Structure 1
Amino acid sequence: MSLENEHLAVVINGQTGDLVSIFSKKLDRELLSGPGNQLQAFRDQGQYWDAWNIDPDYANHPLPPTQLVSIDAIERGPIEWRTRVIRRLGASRCQHDYVLHRHSDTLYIETQIDWQEDHVLLKVAFPLTLDASHATYEAPCGSITRTTNPQTEAEKAQWEVPALRWANLTDDSGEWGVSLLNDCKYGYDVQPSQLRLTLLRSSNWPEVGCDRGHQTMTYALYAHRGTVSTSQTVKRGYELQMPLLVHSIPKLSTRGNEPPFVRRPDTHTHTHTHTPGLPSQATLLSLGANSLVLSAFKQSEADPGQWIGRCYEATGQRSHLTLSSDLGLRLGLRVNGLEDAILQSGAGLIAPAEVEILPWQIQAFQIKPTFSSLVQTQQGRTTVRPAV
């Protein structure tokens, strides 16, 4: 059983449901060195703080492997290929949908588990063909790098570490790497050639039956050229955890009824069916640099007619913020955590056209509308409208 698009060729083991191969066409290399998406279960008990502490000796207590129930091709369309694998682990049922989207360089694994185990730790493993002496994990507004070959007692104690949306291994050559993304699971462990994500535990204290029942999660594998800082890992993590929401807007402007926005699945952008005077696609808000992440766009606490944008630099590089928007928004003054304007010496109230953002720096700004780009509704709500 296989899935394929212009970026990836994926082969599934028909006897186990594991991944036999993930071949990256853009890298011209095989990513897996062994069975991928392999569910690994371990006995996990004996800790005083049952729900908080994983048994440090769990690796010496593996449980029998999963048993394949079924494997079926669900979708083979022009937009999406989807194959469903169902497996049994003890009294639990595990369903995986392997999903490849058109033009996507990421393999998504949509997972549903009916979890009915006691004191079992469940992980999913991806052995890789690279060799990495360090791993990088996403942290709030940045990332942290740790060794994959622990030497000190402190390093050896970090056999399970947290990450937000992703963990990454980049080959020591610096030529390529792989990121394991997640939408709701935050415990990772790594080796120089393996990424592994903790999916579930099943403690009985302080709550009996904790985590039992239906569980839904999605994780994904993304391969890239170069290092994590030059890749699209941060973007892919946000795309997974915060997917695009699409709303129909039958009255976009005062010029009458117009066709609604529709989503282009291949580019994750809004487009508009062609109407004279309207572009085929539009930029709602751009910061001008791939390493800058817009973490907040909100109304001001002090003035609902004022907007605040907050961003951070995510890859450890100097970047330049240049705001652009087809909604007629422009960059205002820099503000502090209380959203008060920070006046630069000699600059007065003049807002900059471009701002340098230092590595890992968090910055916040006023974002101001041009004339007619924001209108007030009768209910007092602010509605964004393209400037005319």
Structure 2
Amino acid sequence: MTVLDSLGIFHHSMFFFNPHIFVILWVLCVMQVDGTIIMENGLLKATIDQTGRLMSLLLLQANRETISEGYLGNQFALFDDVPLYWDAWDVMDHHLQTRKPAVEVIEPAKVVRSGGLQGSVSFSLRISGKSTIKQEILLDACCPYIKFNTQVNWEESHKFLKVEFPVQVRSPNASYEIQFGHLQRPTHRNTSWDWAHFEVWGHKWADLSEHGFGVALLNDSKYGYAIHENIMTLSLLRAPKAPDANADMGSHNFTYALMPHTGLFQDASVIQYAYNLNFLLHVFHGVIAEPWSAFSVNCPAVILETIKQAESRENALLIRLYESHGSSVTMTLSTSLPMQEACIPVSKTSSGITLTFKPFQIRSLNYTVIHLIANRL
């Protein structure tokens, strides 16, 4: 059996079983005598207590512990959330003084899948008299992050649910993804300006790194982070009552993940792994002649973000790329489609189109092809 470590966007490939040509480290998931659960995949080793909290997350290659000594990761906390003016829009800093950990266990952690390509642990907690959390913690073979699939039955009023990870990293600044790039915000509160960043908006990931080691917090649908000193927090749910008294009530499903890494987050492919978490690989049964790629880029700093039908003509595609690391690079966009025309001056070689990017630059191509992708597939 082949195990796919990476597959470019707009690719398809074949998978086949042959146990003699590929060896991987299987996932092991075992409950200990004391009730703690060990999950390991050769890259990470996680220790989980009966309430679903991370007692330890070890990056095996570097022999580096992720969770701060004496603290627990994956800690849910509930806050009172009563803004002064605009219920659904404002978050006030005084809510931080009302933190209440969610520790009431409905169902203690148990092993669901004991290993192989994936190991998993499930548990459930009571947030309050009305709301509950059910979570499955997953560790996949060859995967550098541990994933938390979460279901929340949310029936609250003026409450704010978050999850916290105290990590063994200290840095004056943290990085947060925004559309087509990332920005940095302070992790301290030395000035009133710093204090005003108690909640930071971001997209698919946030990262806290020091020299040689860092931790990324990935997610698939949340947009609020708070990283104060060494505590990484992801905002999960609010319960405003105006202008809609039923806003956000009911069942919610979302996923987040914790990814320790060596070096800079750019070199550790945090950005690519965050995309992988948000855009899952789809597997179909069928027969194809050979592996095929519509488009690919040869530079990890450049993200092929968008490909869509152009409005200007039927046989044209709009392709949008951006530089994600904050660096100046030259890259080649390769394609299996027969190119007829590109509307900006580019250098075309036998291997593809060569483009240069400045830090965080966005470039769009109006790409005219002889046959559309639909005709090829």
Task: Quickly name the TM-score band, shorter chain normalised.
Answer: 0.7 to 0.9
Task: Give the equivalent residue in structure 1 for 2:264.
Answer: 227
Residues in 2 aligned to 1:146 and 1:125: alpha-carbon distance in whole angstroms:
18
Aligned to 2:110: 72
2:59, 2:261 within 8 Å by CA — same for their partners in 1? no
Q: Which secondary structure does the structure 1 equivalent of 2:266 belong to?
A: helix
**Aligned equivalent of 2:5:** none
CA contact (8 A) 2:111 2:120 kept: yes
For 1:150, which of 163, 185, 189 is the aligned residue?
A: 189
- The aligned counterpart of 1:355 is 355
The within-5 A match list for 1:27-42 is 27-33=62-68, 34-42=71-79
Counterpart residue number, 1:129: 168
SS in 2 for 1:234: helix
Matches of 1:329 and 1:124, distance apart in 2: 49
Aligned to 1:4: 40
SS, match of residue 93 in structure 2: coil
**Sequence identity (%):** 27
Alpha-carbon contact 1:229-1:316 (below 8 Å) kept: no
Q: What root-mean-square deviation, in Å, do the aligned CA atoms of Structure 1 and Structure 2 show?
A: 2.4
Q: CA deviation at 1:351?
A: 12
The 1-side partners of 2:352 and 2:306 are apart by 20
Q: Aligned residue for 2:54?
A: 19
Which of 88, 101, 124 does residue 51 from structure 1 map onto?
A: 88
- Looking at structure 1, the residues matched to 368 and 85 of structure 2 have their Cα atoms a distance apart, in angstroms, of 55
Q: Are the aligned partners of 2:185 and 2:197 in contact in 1 as well (CA < 8 Å)?
A: no
Cα separation, partners in 2 of 1:80 and 1:352, compared to 1, 3 Å: closer
Structure with the larger strand share: 2
Report the equivalent of 1:60.
97
Match of 1:384 in 2: 376
Contact 2:334–2:352 (Cα < 8 Å) also in 1: no
Secondary structure in 2 matching 1:295: strand
Measure, in 1, the Cα distance between the counterparts of 2:171 and 2:182.
17
Task: State whether residues 331 and 366 of structure 1, in contact with CA within 8 Å, keep that contact through their aligned partners in structure 2.
Answer: no
**What is aligned with 2:308?**
298
Cα separation, 1, equivalents of 2:48 and 2:232: 19
1:203 corresponding residue in structure 2: 240
Tell me if 1:364 matches 2:364: yes
Structure 2 residue aligned with 1:86: 124
Contact 1:323 1:330 in 2 (8 A): no
Matches of 1:132 and 1:316 in 2, distance apart? 19
Q: Which has the higher contact order (CA 8 A, sep 6+)?
A: 2
Q: How does 1:231-380 map to 2 (within 5 A)?
A: 231-248=268-285, 250=286, 259=287, 278-279=289-290, 281-325=291-335, 327-329=336-338, 333=342, 341-343=343-345, 353-367=353-367, 369=369, 374=371
Given that 1:331 and 1:352 are in contact with CA atoms closer than 8 Å, whether structure 2 keeps it comes out as: no
Amino acid in the other structure paired with 2:189:
P
Structure 2 Cα separation of the partners of residues 35 and 198 of structure 1: 17
Cα distance in 2 for partners of 1:132, 1:49 equals 33
Mapped partners of 1:64, 1:8: distance in 2: 26
- State whether residues 303 and 323 of structure 2, in contact with CA within 8 Å, keep that contact through their aligned partners in structure 1: yes
The match for 1:95 is 134
Instruction: Quickly say closer, same or farther: Cα 1:313–1:331, change in 2 above 3 A.
Output: farther
SS at match of 2:297: coil
TM value normalised by structure 1: 0.81
Partner of residue 9, structure 2 = none
In the alignment, structure 2 segments of 5+ residues that lack a partner are 1-36
Write the deviation string for residues 260-293 of structure 1: whole angstroms up to 9, x where unpaired.
5xxxxxxxxxxxxxxxxx54x4444211101111
Q: CA deviation at 1:152?
A: 3.0
Check whether the contact 1:305–1:382 (CA below 8 A) recurs between aligned residues.
no
- Number of matched residues? 336
Give 1:192's aligned amino acid: E
**Letter of the aligned partner of 1:84 in structure 2?**
S
Corresponding position: 1:104 with 2:143: yes
Structure 1 position 36, deviation (Å): 0.5
Q: Is the 8 A contact 2:310 2:318 kept in 1?
A: yes
Residue 231 of structure 1 and its aligned partner are, at CA, apart by 2.2
Kept after mapping to 2: 8 A contact 1:106/1:220: yes
Q: TM-score, normalised by structure 2?
A: 0.83
> Larger C-alpha radius of gyration, 1 or 2?
1
Measured in 2, the distance between the counterparts of 1:43 and 1:319 equals: 47
Residues 1:137 and 1:64: Cα distance change in structure 2 (over 3 Å)? closer
Deviation digits for residues 222-260 of structure 1 (CA, Å, limit 9, x no counterpart):
122111222211111111112223345x5xxxxxxxx25
Deviations 1:104-134 (A, max 9, x none): 0111100000012221111100000111111
| CA deviation vs aligned residue, 1:294-332 (integer Å, no higher than 9, x gap) | 11112221111122211000011122221223x345595
> For 1:324-375, what per-residue CA distance to the aligned partner results, in whole angstroms no more than 9, with x for missing partners?
23x3455953xxxxxxx2347xx99x99842211111111124454x7xx36
Partner secondary structure for residue 272 of structure 2: helix
1:301 partner letter: E
Separation in 2, partners of 1:308, 1:25: 43
